[in-house]
Structure 1
């Protein structure tokens, strides 16, 4: 039996859950008064789609997390807007919960088509893509991965490549920066910004109290634990920031949570308890690996940890995520006072 703090969440997005299980796109849904959920394909990724949310106000129409930029994605988004009685030119605002291409990707194209403003949290930064020296950025990325123990014959597989870097570099810069506690500037909407770092340094959630909705981006998902990476340059202890912002968003348990992936649910407090427990147990596992195997690098630690499909199944970007997640746990444990002699950060100045 589950303890009270780890009770299961309550499913509300039944059609979304069925579509997830059947590995198809979920339907466009009206989920509240003047609120629509529109799936946008996320090609080549196990998450398969981003759930974009359209909120209609008093003459304003705001889209949250417009999704990955493809022609097919634009077609799906346009069709969803049409079901809500709108066209692309009716959009007045676009909010991305964070600077990842499956959330912000379509923003530049939509801004050009509609004239809508684009907004991000005021703490979200480009990090690597702030530099125009792509060769330098790619070299430092490889140096970081080498420091973490990624073998030379796996570097090309795990490291960032030029097309990927250029893709990130071309993502839209925001017109507006949203501060913690501010309201999204749209008539007829009461959408409050909550700064929730962890998955990215400036991730935000959006709370619509009148409608009883929380748009959680990637901060809180119903089934998986969001990836918390140590990225250089970036926050020194992203896992600690994630814990703090999880506690901040778990202010009640009855509002419907609208995540950017998977499906809707209620039970934010219950889900936060699960996520905190999962990550704390992962840190315990890391400490056990350190004791049992005396690993010399982050890579050595990661290959002894439990992964859902096994370490050997991890390839390319998934492998990169596994290594950077392991590094974030080491950074957290060091900050907690554990003496861990495994290199995590390069003492040289980082690229800004």
Structure 2
């Protein structure tokens, strides 16, 4: 597979591998500016990923040391992982939305055992069986890092402000806040004529918000210090509609490949989530915990083949969907249930 793709108009993408992940690669985008190259995302912090990023930059005629800035769509390690190394090598600034910067700061400051305790309690309250929760409790006791944050991501030094143009000399790149996948996820709208004159309004660097063939994970926004009952799926669906109205000529996502017809893809994703919510209502004809709901939902493989960490992610996604149903008045928590069960209205 070609490592570098030239999208024209001073925009290229570099395929940076993600170790042991079915997504395969992150598309790190390189944008030329009057003050030097700027990266949109950086890829996973791994020696092979770093080598691929450096080789891709060299193929574009620049070195890591020449990178002027780094714009991060969201804090996940396949997007933000190499940002610190890029800054060390080049002195580049790093920009991120304030809500995701807060997550980075919390990840750096919190003790791993606090995360183990929080996640174990969260899973127990979701109805996870004791043998599953016990693995987390054992890991906490041993101060291991299985399935939980165990890295020190770079702290950004610039804030991406939604609606504003980023400070990129000679380019018009506007931040669009698109929460859902993470609280501070942003898409970046390049408000310039498409180099191939495709119809539509510029180009959109969509991160994980809008992908051509898969749907991003929409789970809970985990914060041990915040008791707010968030609605990440509602956030995501609202942001999808905003992006559809932009009608970009081309979408440059962080995974898979560039594509056109963003409004059409938005309609597909909205329909997908509505179908899924309808299916969950049928399951909730009988009261179920979030864990029981996740066991019965359709995934890319049978539940008994889903590994430990992926089950935690699946339960988070199930709860995000049931929260949406509750907010819409289509389901409710059963009074007095422990662990909490939900039922359709």
Q: TM-score range by the shorter chain?
A: 0.7 to 0.9
Gaps of at least 5 residues in structure 1 are 1-24, 347-352
Higher relative contact order (CA 8 A, sep 6+): 1
Paired position in structure 2 for 1:33: 9
Q: Does 1:280 align with 2:239?
A: no
Q: Answer yes or no: is 1:310 the counterpart of 2:302.
A: yes
Give the Cα–Cα distance (whole angstroms) in 1 for the partners of residues 132 and 321 of structure 2.
22
Q: How many residues align?
A: 319
User: Partner of 1:122 in structure 2?
Assistant: 98
Could you say which residue in structure 1 is the equivalent of 2:324? 332
1:118 counterpart SS class: strand
Query: 2:272 aligned with 1:294, yes or no?
Result: no
Distance 1:166 1:264 in 2: 30
Q: Aligned with 1:51: secondary structure?
A: strand
1:254 shift after superposition: 5.0
Distance 1:90 1:344 in 2: 56
Aligned partner of 1:231 among 183, 200, 221: 221
Structure 2 residue aligned with 1:186: 168
Q: 1:93 aligns with which of 60, 64, 69?
A: 69
- Measure, in 2, the Cα distance between the counterparts of 1:344 and 1:189: 54
Distance 2:40 2:162 in 1: 17
Match of 1:259 in 2: 253
TM superposition score normalised by structure 1: 0.85
Paired with 1:331 and 1:252, the residues of 2 have a C-alpha distance of: 28
157-166 or 232-241, which deviates more: 157-166
Residues 1-352 of structure 1 aligned to structure 2 (within 5 Å)? 25-124=1-100, 125-126=102-103, 129=107, 131-155=109-133, 162-163=144-145, 165=148, 167-168=150-151, 170-210=152-192, 211=194, 212-233=202-223, 236-253=230-247, 255-291=249-285, 293-295=286-288, 297-341=289-333
Report if aligned partners of 2:65, 2:89 keep a CA contact under 8 Å in 1: yes
Tell me: CA distance 1:180–1:115, structure 2 relative to 1, closer, same or farther (3 Å): same
Aligned to 1:18: none
- Structure 2 CA distance, aligned partners of 1:247 and 1:310? 32
C-alpha distance in structure 1 between counterparts of 2:136 and 2:221, whole Å: 14
| Separation (CA, whole Å) in 2 of partners of 1:325 and 1:220 | 17
- Note if contact 1:157-1:315 (Cα within 8 Å) is conserved in structure 2: no
Q: Is the 8 A contact 2:322 2:331 kept in 1?
A: no
Question: Does the Cα contact within 8 Å between 1:158 and 1:320 map onto a contact in 2?
Answer: no
Kindly state the Cα deviation for residue 280 of structure 1 after the two structures are TM-superposed: 1.2
- CA deviation profile, 1:304-349 (whole Å, cap 9, x unmatched): 1112222222112221221100000111111111342267999xxx
Unaligned runs of 5+ residues in structure 2 are 195-201, 341-345
Distance 2:314 2:2 in 1: 28
Query: Quick check: 2:108–2:153 contact (8 Å CA) kept in 1?
Result: no
